Amino acid sequence: MEAQRVAAQQCAILVINLDRAPERLAFQRAQAKHLGIDFERIPAVDGAKLSAETYHRYARRWQRVLTRNEVACLLSHARCWEHVIELGCNALVLEDDAVLAEELPAFLNEAAALEGCVVVNIETRCRRAFLARERSAYSSTGLYALLRAVSGSAGYLVTPEAAAMLLKGLPHKAGLVDNYIWGKRDVRRLQADPAFCMGLDVMQAHFQLEKTALARSNIANNGRSRAEKILSYCRHPLTAWRRVKAQVSLGLTKIILPWVVAWRVVAPYPSILANYQALKGVCNG
């Protein structure tokens, strides 16, 4: 196990963390110590401090107008992609609420050798995903081609080539960060199954645990009324058109793809719960 943990550091590990969320950084440090891994903190972009120019450059490129926090989240991940290119090695990108499996160091040992324009989703939100039926040749572990965008950006491995491709699409293809990453067809998208990571809020809900203050999202989009949504689409009709196209595409996908690919829930490694319980004192922050 110790040899696997040392080898895992052939992959860089980057943790996105807001300056105003020191309790989450403390959680990630405790978790890293428990797993025997190291990480580099990447300061998150704060939506409250975004300039109007930067916000408007990204906000209206998707199916609806993005909030300042959603733009900031995308730009935080873009910082990581830039750093991956600078490092010149594969990297695991984590949001600061990611809860990890004990098996992760062994996976990183193998993932360090992944080549090409590849991004691997190590997270599950316990929702159905469209996956290839056969395991990918990229790895001897449970990696499957991901055939349709999924929710979540709490944890993924990215190669320098894929990082460059993700940056190339900004700002003109900007959107919610998970939709942007997992909907991008010019990168090879893979899904780890079982998954090595869960967001803290999803993990607590999945295992029917009490929700802690640490699990509250820093980028949650406060619900808008139907009238506000309609008004937004009237003001920005191009976003409405993108939304209609996306929903039609999704509907056709759900009709056609289940006949030819697997449409199933990706399960988490059970050790995610054990890891959380070992860190419970920190998680209650």
Instruction: Kindly state whether residue 233 falls inside one of the protein's structural domains.
Output: no
pLDDT cut 90: percent of the chain above it = 64
Instruction: Kindly state whether residue 126 falls inside one of the protein's structural domains.
Output: yes
> What value does the mean pLDDT take over residues 154-174?
96
Which pLDDT band, with edges at 50, 70 and 90, does 30 fall under? very high
Tell me how far apart the alpha carbons of residues 54 and 211 are, in angstroms, rounded to a whole number.
34
Tell me how far apart the alpha carbons of residues 231 and 270 are, in angstroms, rounded to a whole number.
45
Tell me how far apart the alpha carbons of residues 182 and 200 are, in angstroms, rounded to a whole number.
20
Tell me how far apart the alpha carbons of residues 175 and 204 are, in angstroms, rounded to a whole number.
27
pLDDT cut 70: percent of the chain above it = 80
Instruction: Kindly state whether residue 127 falls inside one of the protein's structural domains.
Output: yes
Q: Judge contact between 96 and 25, C-beta under 8 A.
A: yes
Best-predicted range by mean pLDDT among 23-32, 61-70, 235-244?
23-32
Instruction: Kindly state whether residue 252 falls inside one of the protein's structural domains.
Output: no
Structure confidence by residue, pLDDT tens digits, 233-282? 676 666 666 667 666 766 676 777 766 788 899 999 999 999 999 987 66
Structure tokens at 276: 């959380």
Average pLDDT of the chain to the nearest whole number: 87
pLDDT at 228: 64
Does residue 189 register a pLDDT over 60? yes
Bridge partners of 67, per DSSP, are none
Instruction: Kindly state whether residue 246 falls inside one of the protein's structural domains.
Output: no
Instruction: Kindly state whether residue 242 falls inside one of the protein's structural domains.
Output: no
- Rg, Å, the chain Cα set: 19
CATH of the domain at 24: 3.90.550
Which domain does 270 fall in, by range? 2-219+262-283
pLDDT at 261: 81
Instruction: Kindly state whether residue 225 falls inside one of the protein's structural domains.
Output: no
pLDDT at 212: 80
Alpha-carbon dihedral sign for residues 12, 18, 24, 26: positive
Structure confidence by residue, pLDDT tens digits, 78-135? 999 999 999 999 999 999 999 999 999 999 999 999 999 999 999 999 999 999 988 8
**How many domains, in total, are found in the chain?**
1
Structure confidence by residue, pLDDT tens digits, 202-226? 999 999 988 887 777 665 555 566 6
Instruction: Kindly state whether residue 224 falls inside one of the protein's structural domains.
Output: no
